A and B are shown apart, each in its own frame.
Chain A
Amino acid sequence: MSGVATPLLLSLKVALWATFFATVFGVAIAYWLSRKQSTWFDLIDSILTLPMVLPPTVIGYYLLVLFGRRGWLGPFLADFGIELVFTWQGAVVAATVVAFPMVLKAARAAFQTVDRQYQDAGRVMGISELGLFFRVTLPLASRGILAGVLLAFARALGEFGATLMIAGNIPGRTQTLSIAIYEAVQAGNDSMANTLVMITSITCVTVLWVSSHLLQAEDRRRKRGEISA
């Protein structure tokens, strides 16, 4: 089983970090984009959504151009001791880039459905714009955002192409579940592939089940308030 646990734990670690970064950046940029309507913003939105439609190998190539040893940012980051090629941190970057549009799309749509009147009501009551974001806008958009975050996690967990290109396939260090499955199949190790596929499937189902359970618990909490009325 140890051959299974290592890639599983690595995948979870990479996917969780990627989801975290994708959520922070996705929500922040979506909020910024939702504040004003402009064709320029739609263009920015389109560019930021590109990772959703580009082949993962193209994304991986871009990442290498950016972060490779002789890339645009690679030498600069190396000065700070940050090495992204052939490291699990590189896998996080790859997974973040492909998962990010999921959060961005969902959050932008969610922010746009929040009625402006609630923000105006808060403004008149003297609440700062930052306070309004955390107290009104974010809570009212949270369900839509959460849906995007879950998709982002699933997408990050399944990331393959871009990860392979930037982080490589180093067992124990950068070999995530999906890469381990590919290698097991290539090596004709069917039992290993079977186990890994089962584990991936069960993990994904569990994550989705737990999250939908959390949403329902939230519903029940609100309804209980109704009964006590």
Chain B
Amino acid sequence: MSIHVSIQHLLSAGGREFKLDMHFSSEARRIALFGPSGAGKTLTLKAIAGLLRPDAGRVTVGERVLFDSAQDIFLKPQQRRLAYLFQEYALFPHLTVGQNIGFGLSTGLFNTRRTSVLPEEAMYWVTTFELAPLLGNYPHQLSGGQRQRVALARALATKPDILLLDEPFSALQASLRRKLREELAELQSRLTVPTVLITHDPQDVRLLADTVFELEDGRVIAQQVGPTFSPEHPA
């Protein structure tokens, strides 16, 4: 599946201006956007997800046009069939692990019961990530690694076209970061869903991306092959 991003967006806050002028496109299954904080990584990811409407440009995933300012197309995040893994996972604190994983699969106005059985597509990920014993727990009772797996299961249960990963390890200490990075790489090798990862850690890129775009000040400054990546401007 190819992904094509070409967006412009102007942000101004407190008298300062930030100009996002992001252009990249790739056929790779594992894409990384690498750059220091403030390079526009998260903005770009949000624009792909539809959580931010850029001033102008075009975003396509495969055949689907998600955003095209020239044709006045802007799909809502609800219509984009993407999954977004937030930096600190954004697991719903008031819901159990089971309710979190099944969240996107029930479209009613109210949450499912704590004891209700998960649909089969969710159970697949529960089994894969060995989460069955945790289904009745609340997110604050989980370890960092368990949280990541719950968040991944929740994201993948909705059968997304593409999985967006927002600095998945930035909040973790070094040893856990290494372990989870390997876990994620192993998962990627079994998944067919393409991933777009944003990070400021070159090690993430080497292990988790086939191709990498290096960002600075809201623009792409270089493209490299993921596994041998060495940043031009180390963060």
A binding-site residues for B, Cβ under 8 Å: 115, 117-118, 120-128, 130-131, 134-136, 139-140, 222, 225-226, 228-229
Contact = CB atoms under 8 A, between A and B. Distances in A.
B174 to A, nearest CB: 25
Q: How extensive is the interface on chain B, given as a class?
A: 20 to 34
Interface in B21-66: 49-51
Interface string B126-150: 0000000010111001000000000
Contact of B49 (A115, A124, A136, A225): A124
Contact of B158 (A115, A118, A126, A135): A126
B82 A135 contact: no
Given A134-B110, A135-B109, A225-B137, A127 B92 contact: no
A124 B84 contact: yes
The A contact surface, by secondary structure, is: helix
B90 A118 contact: yes
B86 interface: yes
A203 B122 CA distance: 49
A84 B92 CA distance: 45
A117 B86 contact: yes
B111 A121 contact: no
Nearest to A142: B94
Interface of B: 49-51, 76-84, 86, 88, 90, 92-94, 96, 103-104, 107-111, 134, 136-138, 141, 154, 158
Contact of B78 (A128, A135, A222, A226): A128
A139 B103 CA distance: 14
Nearest to B160: A124
A226 B96 CA distance: 11
Given A120-B84, A127-B103, A140 B109 contact: no
B93 A140 contact: yes
A225 B98 CA distance: 13
7 contacts: A115-B90, A117-B86, A123-B50, A123-B51, A123-B78, A126-B81, A222-B138
Nearest to A134: B109
A121 B86 contact: yes
Contacts of B82: 124
Contacts of A229: 134, 137, 141
A124 B77 contact: yes
A145 to B, nearest CB: 13
A228 B134 CA distance: 10
Nearest to A225: B138
Contacts of A135: 103, 109-111
Given A126-B107, A127-B78, A117 B90 contact: yes
Contacts of B90: 115, 117-118, 120-121
Contacts of B78: 123-124, 126-128
A27 to B, nearest CB: 15
B141 A125 contact: no
Given A120-B77, A125-B158, A131 B108 contact: yes
Query: Most chain-B Cβ atoms within 10 A of its Cβ — which of A123, A128, A136, A226?
Result: A123
Contact of A136 (B84, B92, B107): B92
A198 B160 CA distance: 62
A139 B111 contact: yes
Given A117-B90, A123-B76, A126-B107, 12 more contacts: A120-B49, A122-B103, A122-B104, A123-B78, A124-B80, A124-B84, A125-B103, A125-B104, A126-B78, A131-B107, A140-B94, A226-B138
